[in-house]
Amino acid sequence: MKTANCNIMFLALSVAGLLFGGYFASMEWFVGPSYVANDGLFWTLPLVAYIFLALTSTGISILMTAGELLDNKAVKAHKLSLLTAALSLLIGAFAALATEMGSPFHVIWLLFSPNLSSPIWWMGTLYAVELLLLGFKYYLLLRGRPSNSEQWLTSAALCVAVAAALVLGSVFGTAVGRTGYQGADASVLTLLCALASGLSLAPLLFKEQAREVLLLPGRRLLAGLAVFLLTLYLYSARSTVLADIAWVQLWMPLLLLASMLVYKAKPAVSALIALPTLLLVELFFVIQGQLQVLGPKQTWLGAVQSYLPNTAEIAILIFGCSVAYLCFFLFNQLQVRLGGSSD
């Protein structure tokens, strides 16, 4: 009864979020710009919403495919839930990205005019391939058709997920490295963020008695990311380059450590701490490098800018999350109708 009420509440919130975010998305597509973006600071919260949702989806995909390939019984038992979540989050990510790029068709056009030297092309293509692979895997699973190619499909989905998370770092590493010319660690950061967010969300998709299997990787990943961020923080604190203001803040690793401590006893609380922290880590990571305005735009925008997301940008984050939750809900309904289990 409690779960049913909770589901209805989440569903109602998602529908409200879809309408609220959808209004701002359509404003952005058809009316005019509503974000706090300018020629100096052009990648803002809507793009970070894409990064966050895509990385969370990647983390879940990696967990699911790696568990499957390693023949882990607990992961295999929750395959459908994990697959549904990964697919829904990726759809939510693309919904947020479509608002950022001005038109949903731009996302599709990107795939058909390749520039192999562009990290953004690789990012778009890898995530599109990941979406297709997950979609195909879901179709096979839903139809209950065991396929000879399943092993191949799982391996391919794992490789693509890892590559996509790494490439995402190389795209946004240019943002953080804009002023200080450093950012080689960006790909490691995005991969760790993907794994940490995936493993933070995973316990909520698992039955209570099966969560044991997530404890070791989940805690290690959260601790690993906290150590990584702490190292970056200490490195930045010792930096002698004044212009290169550090994007890492001390509260980031501390919150991740707090989330790690309650990972076993209170997985929902752990996720509630870890996921917003990871979103903020990704936001700071993308924004900081852009705060320093380059070239002649300094004359018009000032040498340094500050950033606080506005209502429209927050609405797009809500829009992406709502699309993801509604897809998750609809996929689960589909599974129930087709007689499958929704785990």
Partner 1 sequence: MRYGMVIDQQKCVGCAGCVFACKAENHTPPEINWCDKLIVSSGQFPDVRFEYLSTMCNHCEDAPCVKGCPTQAMHKSEGGLTLHEQEKCIGCKACMENCPYGVISFNWQRPHQEWQENKGLAAGTFTPSAMLAEAGGEGSPLSNPERGSSYPIQRQRGVVEKCNFCDHRLKVGLNPVCVDACPSNARVVGDLDDPNSEVSKLIRKYDGKPLKPELGTGSKVFYIRRYTPENR
Binding positions for partner 1, rule: CB under 8 A: 32-33, 37-40, 42-43, 101-103, 106-107, 109-110, 113-115, 117-121, 124, 171, 174-175, 178, 290, 293-299
28 vs 68 by CB, closer to partner 1: 28
Nearer to partner 1 by Cβ, of 53 and 226: the residue is 53
**Which pair of tokens denotes residue 151?**
């092993």
Kindly state the smallest distance separating residue 104's Cβ from partner 1, in Å: 11
Pick the closer one to partner 1 by CB: 84 or 292: 292
**Cβ 119 to partner 1, closest distance in Å?**
7
- Angstrom distance (rounded) from CA 127 to CA 163: 9
Q: For residue 66, which amino acid is it?
A: A
Toward partner 1, which CB reaches closer, 102 or 276? 102
Distant-in-sequence, close-in-space partners of 23: CB < 8 Å, separation ≥ 6: 315
Q: Report residue 46 as tokens.
A: 């809507």
As measured in angstroms, the least distance from the Cβ of 162 to partner 1 is 21
Instruction: Work out how close the CB of 247 gets to partner 1 at its nearest, in angstroms, rounded to a whole number.
Output: 15
* Beta carbon nearer to partner 1, 171 or 317: 171
Min dist. Cβ of residue 128 to partner 1 (A): 12
Which residue number, 32 or 339, has a Cβ lying nearer to partner 1? 32
Look at residues 37, 63, 13, 62 and name the one whose alpha carbon lies nearest to residue 313: 37
Judge residue 269's burial from the number of C-beta atoms within 10 Å of its C-beta, 0-12 exposed, 13-18 middle, 19 or more buried. middle
Determine the Cα–Cα distance for residues 304 and 61; give it in Å rounded to an integer: 39
Q: Which residues are 304's β-sheet partners?
A: 292
Instruction: State the Cα–Cα distance between residues 176 and 286, nearest whole angstrom.
Output: 6
Instruction: Give the pair of three-digit tokens for residue 251.
Output: 């509260």
Beta strands in the chain (DSSP E): none
CB of 190 to partner 1, least distance (A): 16
- Annotate 156-176 with three-state secondary structure: HHHHHHHHHHHHHHHHHHHHH
Opening angle at CA 281, ends 183 and 40, nearest 5: 65
- Alpha-carbon distance of 110 to 238, in angstroms, equals 40
* Shortest spacing between CB 322 and partner 1, in angstroms: 24
Choose between 116 and 265: whose C-beta lies nearer to partner 1: 116
